[in-house]
Structure 1
């Protein structure tokens, strides 16, 4: 086991940056999960909690100059944007590529270098249905469409000096460990990297530590998110939706919940990981005070990382 001093060197501030997702303060998939926290308050609290950057969310100003000024004021940078892809459903390839290029231009204007995508063709995660039973299972033709599309996006990103990482996600066709393995085996490692989301791996029923170990050389971005095992079990046994799981508190921050992040961070240290470590927890801010959870996560990571 790597000790704190060694980990502090191998995952030092010149190699990794600590970010936090807007989903602690509001939910972008389900905007009704909201406590009325403004964009300004949220980014101020991110900085107060000790983070260096943040994701983009629906309350962020759409004008790049306005957004960058607000982040610069608080010493924050953008950790990632998000682009949903739809390569596996009809007549959406060109629209997907166009949306990606628009996001790329926006993130470049903000000084960001990371691009995150997830395939939402046929996804069950936004629907009021059993998130496990109704997630899509891709045909071979759909897998081919997805992997070729992602490689095209990867080329576009690389030509702009940016890195593309794929976010596996509950309710989608790339949800389980087996799905992640197939995606990684079917794509060019120079073009398509893996966004390791520890919470989504655990929610899907797999081991985030094993995924980290087996795909360490492909990880280009990390979401550090924990789960509450009793809620995971309830969602599976009762056939609940993704939204119901969130409202019941299935996700929480590092330092809370069921996942031990020390061995996962050791794997990243061994792999000489460079990039963002982004805290995330899609919680109801009416029940889980965002600043309190952001500070809890930051203190936990300080204890592990030594800074």
Structure 2
């Protein structure tokens, strides 16, 4: 079963209740890990939409060190104001997820200026349009554009990544699309593997990470399968193998937690439990 970003995390108003409780100060171990842990803000978008500044404070108090914005969502704010909120909360913008269209034609420079104001250098698209995956030929043609975008971002000190969706894992004409993407794209186009999407696509995330071991700057840690309230450490993901690989790989700088499965808990509670589970697994 496939879950879209916009169909999930429909959590109730109870998500704001956690604001009214006294959250513990940032965990001491949050700054001791060699790699940093960020939160994809889609995971708590219900909270961000109500009060972004307070949401960021809560995310930092839970213990996260950075955040990744979904679709470069402004939540009604200018990037300069968003940067102030990040600075005041003590968080880093470790990346953004973008639509491909925001990096094309006249939109490109606007997107660059947005990220300069935000202080963010990691830009990632969450997949190519579905029509690009009709055949290997259409996919290879589309990949040329990714290399061009990556090259255009270099002068700004910005890095370009590709977030692999479940459809990027399922074979097309006998080949795995994400492997085709990385084989034909320039070496500076990075892979952002998502453990949940990878499991949904039926692939071994460790095998993909090993094959493209020098192509990742971050990884999405997301649960897939298992009971309704499954968190990181559960579900159908090979967590032991994934985390062992990441720990031994210098190129991966950020673990980015994302939660897109339905839960009976509030989104901030789920974010807290996911981080605690990672720490219990030695991250």
Q: Distance in 2 between matches of 1:36 and 1:270?
A: 37
1:226-280 per-residue CA deviation (whole Å, 9 max, x = no partner) reads 11157xxxxxxxxxxxxxxxxxx6x964234232423212212323234221000
User: Does structure 1 residue 280 correspond to structure 2 residue 258?
Assistant: yes
In structure 1, list runs of 5 or more residues that go unmatched.
Answer: 1-11, 28-33, 87-93, 124-135, 231-248
Deviation at 1:158, TM superposition (A): 1.6
Residue in 1 that maps onto 2:44: 25
Q: Distance in 1 between matches of 2:51 and 2:233?
A: 26
Q: TM-score, normalised by structure 2?
A: 0.76
Q: Quick one: which of 73, 81, 84 aligns to 2:88? A: 73
Distance 1:192-1:66 versus aligned 2 partners, 3 A rule: same
Q: Quick one: which of 46, 52, 60 aligns to 1:39? A: 52
Distance 1:45-1:252 versus aligned 2 partners, 3 A rule: farther
Q: Distance in 1 between matches of 2:281 and 2:103?
A: 42
Does structure 2 retain, via aligned residues, the 8 Å contact 1:253–1:279? no
Q: Distance in 2 between matches of 1:13 and 1:273?
A: 18
Deviation at 1:197, TM superposition (A): 0.8
Q: TM-score, normalised by structure 1?
A: 0.71
Deviation at 1:44, TM superposition (A): 2.2
Q: Distance in 2 between matches of 1:14 and 1:156?
A: 33
Q: Quick one: which of 160, 164, 168 aligns to 1:164? A: 160
Does structure 1 retain, via aligned residues, the 8 Å contact 2:219–2:252? no
Deviation at 1:75, TM superposition (A): 0.6
Residue in 2 that maps onto 1:106: 114
Residue in 1 that maps onto 2:6: none
Deviation at 1:155, TM superposition (A): 0.3
Q: Which has the higher helix share?
A: 2
Q: Cα RMSD between the aligned structures? A: 2.8
Distance 1:35-1:118 versus aligned 2 partners, 3 A rule: closer
1:276-302 per-residue CA deviation (whole Å, 9 max, x = no partner) reads 2100012447x3311211111111222
Q: Distance in 2 between matches of 1:166 and 1:207?
A: 18
Residue in 1 that maps onto 2:8: none
Deviation at 1:138, TM superposition (A): 2.8
Q: Secondary structure at the match of 1:81?
A: strand
Residue in 2 that maps onto 1:176: 170
Q: Distance in 2 between matches of 1:170 and 1:98?
A: 30
Instruction: Tell me the matched-pair count.
Output: 247
RCO comparison, higher one (Cα < 8 Å, 6+): 1
Deviation at 1:170, TM superposition (A): 3.4
5 Å matches for 1:245-284?
A: 253-284=231-262
Does structure 2 retain, via aligned residues, the 8 Å contact 1:252–1:282? no
